[in-house]
């Protein structure tokens, strides 16, 4: 179970620039470390992130092994109409984690 | 020739003298006074500005991921009762401030928060005890500890807790490891100085369970103590061992009026 923390306004005025924050619990194993027996620990990182605002991509990011564990992203978008913000992460194996929040635009 | 022989003899005698002197070397500092109350500072004050901001951030503190999960576990029920079914918000069973009273004696045994949670699981919920340092244990401990955030320690060191306290205190003042260092030599005598790139703190436990940047994850106080033991090249005890719980009691008492910061951020 990956814990996700989202910070987004519940309400915004039309045309307002809103700040969004998204954090996910993930170890972001680089693939460069070795265990106590000298065996390589396989890479296990998140590869992609995207934020969809009413099914339209408003922010997209790629992750690499140098990104720290439990990555947090802060980004902005313009509030246009009421609807849903979907935050979606995809890891190395294609496994997805997502969260959804509602935004009311007045 | 004679000159060099003389020199060799003098070096030899010097070596013998130093061997004799090391026989009288101090093994323990247990006569030393404890850290004066007026000088007590939280590890928070030894952090960089950025790390302090991360700890104080109600959203971005990564320890809150474990607190969130702990809150889910706290309310989770199946064939067993949930933690929340006994420990309701108000009344005798509320857990606000509970974490600040540990370690304490529970039915004749010195118990810290982790051990107490396992005791509840086995005795009250009829569940399997958590493995020490497992993600679930860390999460539930994080949640319960977070309910005491901002409250001062309230541990008892009198009565039947006294022998454990004395043992924990002795551990702190005892030299150990290949580097032959006692906790007190760094955390009392050299606090505030640099150890490589790190500012040496006073070694207070009030951030734990907490998020350590070096680990890139959440961990218990015992894991942190293990790191110190490994640092002085001593064989660490197991997390959850009686020795570490005794030390935890001394540390909680030594921190005196400091407030609990869990989930704290440390290097």
- Asked if the Cβ–Cβ distance from A5 to B64 is below 8 Å, we say yes
pLDDT confidence of residue B197: 85
Its pTM stands at: 0.89
For chain A, the straight-line distance linking the first and the last C-alpha, in angstroms and rounded, comes to: 35
Q: What is the ipTM of this complex?
A: 0.93
pLDDT confidence of residue B30: 87
Query: How far is residue B249's CA from residue B160's CA, in Å, rounded to a whole number?
Result: 13
- Asked if the Cβ–Cβ distance from B217 to A69 is below 8 Å, we say yes
pLDDT confidence of residue B237: 96
Q: What SS3 string covers A33-101?
A: CECCCCCECCCECEEEEEEEECCEEEEEEECCCCCCCCCEEEEEEECCCCEEEEEEEEECCCCEEEEEE
Q: In whole angstroms, what separates CA B143 from the centre of its chain?
A: 18
Q: From the CB of residue B152, how many other CB atoms can be counted at a distance below 10 Å?
A: 14
pLDDT by residue, tens only, chain B of 267 residues: 445 544 544 444 444 444 444 555 778 898 899 999 999 999 999 999 999 999 999 999 999 999 999 999 999 988 888 998 888 766 557 888 999 999 999 999 999 999 999 999 999 999 999 999 999 999 999 999 999 999 999 999 999 999 999 999 999 999 999 999 999 999 999 999 999 888 999 999 999 999 999 999 999 999 999 999 999 999 999 999 999 999 999 999 999 889 999 999 999
**Minimum distance, in Å, between the CA of residue B236 and any CA atom of chain A:** 16
> B70 vs A17, A69, B48, B62, B220, CA distance in Å?
34, 19, 28, 13, 14
Q: What SS3 string covers B24-39?
A: CCCCECCCCCCCCHHH
Which tops the pLDDT comparison, B21 or A28?
A28
Query: How far is residue B253's CA from residue B157's CA, in Å, rounded to a whole number?
Result: 8
Binding-face residues of B in 62-101 toward A, CB within 8 A: 62, 64-66, 68-69
- Asked if the Cβ–Cβ distance from B65 to A28 is below 8 Å, we say no
pLDDT confidence of residue B20: 44
Query: How far is residue B143's CA from residue B71's CA, in Å, rounded to a whole number?
Result: 6
pLDDT confidence of residue A4: 96
Angle between helices B242-254 and B221-231 in degrees, nearest 10? 100
pLDDT confidence of residue B11: 46
Partners of B199 in beta bridges? B194
- For A60-79, the pLDDT digits (tens) are 999 999 999 999 999 999 99
Whether the CB of B230 is below 8 Å from some CB of chain A: the reply is no
Under 8 Å between Cβ of B47 and B266: yes
Q: From the CB of residue A85, how many other CB atoms can be counted at a distance below 10 Å?
A: 22
- For A31-46, the pLDDT digits (tens) are 999 998 999 999 999 9
Under 8 Å between Cβ of A78 and A15: yes
Is residue B228 part of the annotated active site? The answer reads: yes
Under 8 Å between Cβ of A91 and A30: no
pLDDT confidence of residue A1: 72
Mutation target to probe the B interface, by most B beta carbons within 10 A, among A69, A71, A97, A101 is A69
Walk me through the domains of chain A, giving residue ranges and CATH numbers.
4-105 (2.60.40.10)
Whether the CB of B216 is below 8 Å from some CB of chain A: the reply is yes
């Amino acid at each position: 179970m990956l814990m996700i923390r989202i910070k987004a306004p519940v309400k915004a005025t039309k045309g307002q620039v809103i700040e969004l924050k998204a954090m996910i619990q993930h170890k972001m194993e680089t693939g460069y470390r070795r265990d106590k027996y000298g065996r390589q620990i396989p890479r296990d990182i998140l590869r992609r992130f995207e934020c969809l605002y009413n099914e339209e991509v408003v922010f997209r990011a790629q992750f690499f092994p140098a990104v720290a564990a439990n990555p947090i992203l802060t980004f902005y978008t313009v509030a246009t109409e009421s609807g849903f913000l979907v935050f979606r992460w995809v890891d190395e194996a294609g496994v997805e984690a997502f969260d959804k929040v509602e935004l009311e635009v007045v | 020739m004679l000159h060099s022989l003389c020199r060799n003899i003098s070096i030899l005698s010097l070596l013998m003298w130093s061997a004799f002197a090391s026989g009288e070397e101090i093994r323990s500092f247990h006569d030393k006074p404890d850290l004066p109350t007026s000088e007590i500072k939280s590890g928070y004050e030894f952090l960089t500005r950025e790390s302090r901001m991360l700890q104080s951030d109600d959203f971005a503190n990564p320890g809150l991921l474990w607190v969130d999960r702990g809150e889910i576990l706290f309310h989770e029920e199946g064939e067993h009762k949930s933690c929340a079914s006994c420990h309701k918000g108000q009344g005798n069973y509320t857990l606000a401030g509970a974490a600040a009273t540990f370690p304490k004696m529970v039915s004749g045994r010195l118990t810290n928060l982790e051990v107490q949670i396992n005791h509840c699981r086995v005795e009250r919920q009829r569940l399997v005890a958590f493995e020490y340092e497992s993600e679930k244990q860390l999460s539930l401990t994080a949640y319960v500890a977070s309910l005491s955030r901002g409250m001062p320690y309230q541990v008892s060191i009198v009565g039947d807790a006294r022998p454990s306290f004395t043992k924990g205190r002795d551990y702190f003042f005892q030299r150990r490891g290949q580097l032959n260092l006692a906790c007190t030599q760094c955390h009392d005598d050299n606090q505030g100085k640099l150890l490589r790139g790190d500012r040496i703190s006073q070694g207070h436990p009030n951030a734990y369970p907490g998020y350590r940047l070096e680990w890139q994850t959440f961990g218990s106080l015992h894991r942190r103590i293990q790191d110190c033991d490994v640092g002085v090249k001593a064989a660490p005890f197991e997390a959850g061992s009686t020795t570490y719980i005794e030390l935890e009691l001394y540390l909680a008492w030594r921190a005196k009026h400091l407030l609990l910061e869990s989930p704290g951020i440390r290097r």
